[in-house]
Amino acid sequence: MIGVILWADYQTGRAVVWCDDQAELAFILPEPGAVLPEGEARLDAGDLIGFELEVRPDYRLVRNPKLLSRGTHETLAALLVRHAADGREPGPGLLGPFTGTELWVA
């Protein structure tokens, strides 16, 4: 699956991810004692990632996140908040037409 990081906390390594299936959000929750990425390896809001999705009873968990494109979707969180304030549901077309090439910009 692919997704965009909406929010990230550097100190805990936790993050919230909007997934391309547009279902429930997914979470990056490092295992206790895990070594957190630093510098360029650290994921940040607006980064496009590929990952495996683990569905748990109460939430969805990101496993093995891989950076696909750094910072290419920095305004997505604000766009989602605006849509929610307007009473609109996010869905297909929120970011404009999709050609598939947007995902692989280095």
Does residue 104 belong to any structural domain of this protein? no
Q: Per residue in 8-17, pLDDT tens?
A: 888 888 999 9
CB burial string 61-94: b at 16+ within 10 A, e below: ebeebebbbbebbeebbeebeeeeeeeeeeeeee
The residue type at 80: L
Q: What range does the domain containing 43 cover?
A: 2-92
Better-predicted residue by pLDDT, 96 or 21: 21
Considering the domain boundaries, does residue 25 fall inside one?
yes
**pTM score:** 0.74
Q: Give residue-wise pLDDT tens across range 23-58.
A: 999 999 988 878 777 777 788 889 999 999 999 999
Query: Does 28 reside within a domain?
Result: yes
pLDDT at 76: 79
The number of distinct structural domains making up the chain is 1
Which one has a higher pLDDT value, 56 or 104?
A: 56
Q: What gap in Å lies between CA 11 and CA 53, rounded to an integer? A: 23
What is the domain-level CATH number for residue 60?
2.40.50.140
